[in-house]
Each structure stands twice: as C-alpha cells, then as structure tokens.
Structure 1
Amino acid sequence: MTVISLLCFLLPFLFPTLVHAQASGSGSTTRYWDCCKASCAWNGKAALASGSNPVTSCDISNDSLSNYNAVSYCASSAGTAYMCGSQTPWAVSSTLSYGFAATNIAGGTEASWCCACYQLTFTSGPVAGKQMIVQATNTGGDLGSNHQFDLAIPGGGFGIFNACTNQYPSTPAASWGAQYTGISSRDQCASLPTTLQAGCYWRFDWFLNADNPSVCFKQVSCPAALTAKSGCVRANDATNESPTGPSVVPTYAPTITNTSPSTSAGVGGTSATSTTTNAGSGGAGTPAAHYGQCGGTGYRGSTAVS
C-alpha cells in the first residue's frame, strides 16, 4: 500500500468527529460528457441555501433555463433540457483545477452530495499529486458502490446516454469518439463544438490524458467560481457551504520560457537571436512533494493559485 493510499484509508480515524458528517476517503475517477440535464438540476434533490436553485440546465442553444422541471432530452425526445456547455473543467494553476462531476459515494445519497464540493488529490498516473476541486452536479447511478467521481470532460465519452448529437447537430457523431472513452488525442478536440473545446484541451494539457486515476478526497466548501457556473449552493451541513473566493477565476496561463533559438534582423541589419518555448499547461510547476497529505503539501485552500 502506498503512503498516499494509507493516509486516505486512515482519514476517518485521524478525524473521528467527521466520520459520519463529512465525506472523505479514497476513491476512483472516470470521465464522461453526455450533454444530459444533470440529476442535481431537479428540485428537491438536496437542501439548498436560501435563494439558491438546483444546478442550472440549458436549452439546445446553451441558454440557461429558469424552469427546473424542464424534461431532460435523455428522458424523452421531447425534452428541452441539456447540460450547460459552461460546466467544463479548467486549470486554476499548474497543480490545481476546478470542474464538475457525477458522484456516487458509498453510504451517501443525492441529498448528501448534490451540489457539494470535493477536493480530489490524484494518487496515480501522470497527475499524481495534482489537485482538483469538483462540484457534484450529477449522480453516477451506473458507477457502482465505491467512492467514485465521474469527471465531466467534453469528449470524455457519452456513457449510457447521449444528448450531444441532438444538442450539437452540426457536430458529426464520430467526432465525439468512443461511447465509453471518448476521443483519444488532443487534435480531435478541434472537431468538438467551439464552446466545449477548452474543456477538452484541459484533459490533454493539464490532466495529461490521465486514464481514470485514483484519488484521495474530502468534502470542502465550494469555490464561488464553481457555484457561479452551476447556480447551486447547499445549505450548511457538515461543511460551511458558503462559497469561497472570487466568482470568476481565470484559466491558468503557463509561464513561457526561452529555449528554442530564432533569428530576426536587428537595427542596421544586425542579427538578433531570441528563444521561445511554450510550456504545456500541465508542465509548469511541481505537484505537491510526495503528495503525502490528502490536502497536498503547501495547499492553501480552495482558492489558492500558485
């Protein structure tokens, strides 16, 4: 058993007062993007903060719907509700991202996870040590009984439902990739609808095309940048659910370093040499050393940007 796996296992024993209140432990991830109205977008799924609404759904044109009882296209071909194209992942720093997920936590229900946020520390694959804070906007009824987070990533595969070919009729069905794994290369992102391309590129640039990495997770207060996109804030429960930080957090732009020579003519014909290399979104910075703590060494909270 690795150090990180052992610490994930010990979380409930290290913090016994939180065992029955605040979800934490080890789990796994998958990926999907089916364009369906999210399960947490229906009324009555969880206790919400005063003035809050369920997760926002969109119409076929990606405009927000105010009718939270609108039927999902995945439930009926006459349905008018879809997943909003803005609910995609993005990098906040070289080692932290925000996003959304369908969730299934053993011992819990939609009442306990809908619109809750979880800090994931990846413990395997090329993203080991990186962290992601996700808001649970959907329920993974087909994910099994283990702690699992099905990350919402455009081009990640439809799974058992598909509303994408109806919501985006100009995008050929083949452009979405395989049913359960989605597309297989970064250049295929360019074939997806424009509004979804940035989230697709995230998978290859920051997430390093990791294939279902394992995680250590714990429930945290949601960043306001996530609730601003979902429109959903839970009432206080095990966690103070008041959103933290700014409501707009820009996408992380990696530092550009100079390594590749290029030559241009200077004043008076003198040659001037400069070098430029773009660092990939996942390449700048170093993941938390040894990623021994589930919070991540040096982690400064859900809105920290390095």
Structure 2
Amino acid sequence: MKKALLSSLCVAGAVAMFVGCGDDAATPFAPTPASSSSLVWDNQSSSSNGANNNLGSSSSVVPESSVSNPGSSSSVIVPPGSSSSVIPSLSSSSANPTSSANPTSSATESSSSNAPNLDENGFPTLESYGPPPESYTKDILSNGKTGWSSRYWDACKPHCSWLSSVDTSSEETYQAGRTVARNCNIHDVEVPAFTLGHAVQQYWMGYEGTNSACVNSNAGGTYTCTDMAPIQVNENLSYGYVAGSGGLHKYGCGKCYHLQYNGGNHANDVKATHKALKGKHIVVMVSNIGYDVEDGQFDLMVPGGGVGAFNALSTQIGVPASGLGANGGGFLSECQISLGWDNTVEAYQQCVLNKCDEVFKDWPNLLRGCRWYAEWFMAADNPTFNWEEVECPQYLIDHYMTKFNTTKENRWRWHDDWSDYKKGDVLDTVYCWKDGENPNDPNGKGAGCQP
C-alpha cells in the first residue's frame, strides 16, 4: 500500500501545534474520566511509579497512570536553577495515558471487574471486555453499501501516528479524534508518536513526529505495534485495523466500520474461499490513510499480506523481502502460483499456514494475525463486503490510542534512535516557554526552549 510520507516537522501554519501569542491563557481540554463500563488499567512497569510528571522541567519523566496537563492553570513551570522551584500538582482532570476513557462514544462491552486479566502485551484480555454488541453481527447484506478488502503489512509507523493526519486545531478536536495512533520501536515497545522537534532552540519551539522505520530502513525508527494484527472474537466476528481511502477519510483516523462479507470478489472471479467467508463480520478501525486506496476499499492490516510500496518488516524481523511473499498479496499470492488458481480452500489455508509458521515463529502477534487470515478469513483473496459506520469496540480503542501523547503538548527531547528504549524507561525533557514567558529575556517575544 502506498502511504504518503509526510513531513513530520510541525510548525504554526501546518498543524497549529506551535505555541504562539496569547496561548498561555488557554486551558487544554481534559479527557472525560472513564465510565463504569470502560476498562482502565496501567500496563507500565513498576519502575514508572512515582515518576516526576512536570512536563516543563528539565528532569526526566515516564508515562504512568496520570500525567500533568502542560497547559493547565494548575501547573506552575519554573526554569531550571530557580531558587523557588515548584513541582506542579496533578489536576484531578489530568489525562490518563493508560486509560481507555475517550470523550467520544464507544460500543459498550460489559465487564464485571475493574482489574481485568492482562494478556502478554499488557492489555486486558479479549475476554475481559465481555460479549460484543449484537449490532456487530447483524445482517447488513441488503443495505446497498458495498466495497472490497485488500491486505498488507508493511510494519511502518501508522499514518494516524503523524500529527498531520489528525485535527490539532484545539485540544478538544485532538481528543475527539482519539489523539494519535500508537507506534512501537523495533522491539515492539510503545514509544512516543511525536516529541519536541530536533531543531528547537531559544527562539523556536515546535513538535516533530518520531522517525518512521520506513524511511531509509531505519532500525531506530518507529513501527506498527504488532498487537494491532487482526484477532478473532468468535467464529462469526473479528476485529482489525485498516487503511482507509485518502479521498474519503480526511481526519478519518480512529473511525470504525462494520463489514459483512457477501461472497463476492473484487475482480468478479469468485472462488471457494470467497464462498466460505460469506456471512462473516469484522469491525475495523482506520489506523492508516492510503492515497492509492479506492473509495469503498479497506486495506486490511494482515501480517503476511504483502508489504506493498514500503517495507519496514524486513528490518524489524530480519527476514529479506523475498521471504515475505509477493509484494502485493503476500503469502497467498505465492500459494496461488504454486497451487494454481482453483484449488481447494484447505490447500490454500495449509500453504499460507506453513509460511506463517516459518516466517513469524518468533513474533507471536504477527503469527496470530497471519494464521487468522488462513483460518478465520478462509484465505480469501480481495473479497467484497457490505459496510456501515459503527461505534468502536473498546478493544480497538485501547490498542489504537497512544499512551504517551495523551495531549497535543509535551516537553520530551528529540531522539533519532528509539531502538534502545525499554518499557518503563524515563524520557528526558526540555524546559520550554510560551510567548512572552522567556526567563532569559523578559522582553523577548516568541516561544522557545532551553538549549
């Protein structure tokens, strides 16, 4: 899939993230606390407990269960070295980087516990969310809205992790759009989606997206978190993430759609695999924007589905591009060449499964998603579906929303290489000021940061 590698340097005119004149009076919006039906958990390591949450200091911080609001009137930021340093108190409305709370609605999935069982990724287990809403499996085959599924997994930083892909005109719009998508380092540990820009200095302050691993095969860059691979809810329903059409989805990041497969094929070449998939449902969330994705098409994120136009997967898992299947179509396309185009469902499934087990044996989430395509998705090639927009399941929200960039401001220092970041490590911060607050020049204008 072709994705635009947009410039990640965010300045005033580009994404309204520059801290400019008169901004010091504004109080950023605080997310609504989680309702009783939402699952709230803290998947940070114990080493993060008690970390300093002063985002304006020159000390180090690590995201934990509460983060101070950098623009809140309750936060007092004092330059380093001041004799009257004050550590800001945490507001009761502070954003929670490990909470599933969201100001926009989500589909209610019942839970009987506020402390759910966690999976190997540190998230609540799928079972902890309770049964899915019945609306996710209602029949929509006669609603007249049709489209088709392609597939890919390039492992690149998600398009929805870039600030330019979300609405940052205010804190309210940033929160309403579910902030930005998570991204991970080469070891599959979540890291910030954006930090202070690498060029901040005394007379300029701005934000910059952390490097994508798809640029120059950068091992120190950021990748798609592997737990965003598709997952089966039951024999008739699954959850997953997709790239939506660039033409349809301006600020479409974080929206969800219910798809029901109707037994067809995009090229009108219906095979046994398409018939076997007919009637099944999947709820998908937009985590990428594809500018080569057609209106009505969803490019489903499937490990082993082909890397498309970009390839960070080889860098991450150490497998050359030649071992990842066809560039477009992945493992199934190779199986079709070796088995012919009219073989049995079982033959295609077994061929894909063999490749999944060989390539992803050391990557459990990628292996799960690859096997899901063969077993639940019936190894169907570009199937057609009927669709409708729906409220998002909490499972998809929790695996989508960043736990670092919970507000559109931070004071984290730029890093070229995130490969050595470990879960629970502290993040270096830089002391910055807003327009008219320069401690070194009381008469100075403009925002800036300590050298």
TM-score surpassing 0.5? yes
SS state at 2:163 partner: coil
The Cα shift of 1:76 comes to 3.9
Moved more, 218-227 or 37-46: 37-46
Shift in Å at residue 77 of structure 1?
3.8
Say what the alpha-carbon RMSD is for the aligned residues: 2.3
**Could you tell me which of 249, 258, 262 is aligned with 1:119?**
258
Once residues 191 and 310 of structure 2 are traced to their aligned partners in structure 1, the CA distance between those partners, rounded to angstroms, is 21
User: Is residue 105–residue 148 contact of structure 1 (8 Å, CA) maintained in 2?
Assistant: no
Task: Indicate conservation of the 8 Å contact 2:141/2:262, yes or no.
Answer: no
- What is the aligned partner in structure 1 of residue 394 from structure 2? 224
Contact 2:304 2:324 in 1 (8 A): yes
Deviation of 1:44 after TM superposition, in Å, equals 4.5
Contact 2:141–2:260 (CA<8 Å) still a contact in 1? Answer: no
Name the counterpart of 2:89: none
The one of 57, 75, 85 aligned to 2:183:
57
How many residue pairs match? The answer is: 211
Cα distance change on mapping 1:213 and 1:232 into 2, 3 Å: farther
SS at structure 1 position matched to 2:142 = helix
Counterpart of 2:143?
8
- Structure 1 CA distance for aligned equivalents of residues 292 and 246 of structure 2: 12
Distance 1:197 1:182, change over 3 A: same
My pick for the range that moved more, 49-58 or 213-222, is: 49-58
How far is the alpha carbon of 1:225 from its aligned partner?
0.6
Structure 1 residue 53 displacement after superposition: 2.8
Query: Aligned pair 1:150/2:299, yes or no?
Result: yes
| 1:161 counterpart = 2:319 | no
Structure 2 vs 1, CA of residues 90 and 7 (structure 1 numbering), >3 Å: closer, same or farther?
same
Name the structure 2 match of 1:133: 283
Q: Provide the C-alpha distance between the structure 1 equivalents of 2:376 and 2:313, rounded to a whole number of angstroms.
A: 24
TM-score (norm 2): 0.44
Moved >6 Å (runs of 4+): none
After TM superposition, give the deviation of residue 50 of structure 1 in Å.
6.0
Q: Which has the larger radius of gyration?
A: 2
The aligned amino acid for 2:227 is S
Give the letter aligned to residue 65 of structure 1: V
Deviation readout 1:59-114 (Å, 9 max, x if unpaired) = 111110124311212234446111111100011011000011111175x2331x21
The one-character-per-residue Cα deviations of 1:129-187 (angstroms, maximum 9, x if unpaired) are 1100001000111123x211000000000111111111112x34333111101113211
Check the 8 A contact 1:71/1:81 in 2, yes or no: yes
TM-score, length of structure 1 as denominator length: 0.64
Match of 1:95 in 2: 236
Unaligned runs of 5+ in 2: 1-138, 167-172, 195-208, 264-273, 333-351, 404-451
Q: 2:270 maps to what in 1?
A: none
SS for the counterpart of 1:154 is coil
Aligned partners of 1:94 and 1:206 also within 8 Å: yes
Structure 1: state its 5+ residue gaps.
10-24, 234-306
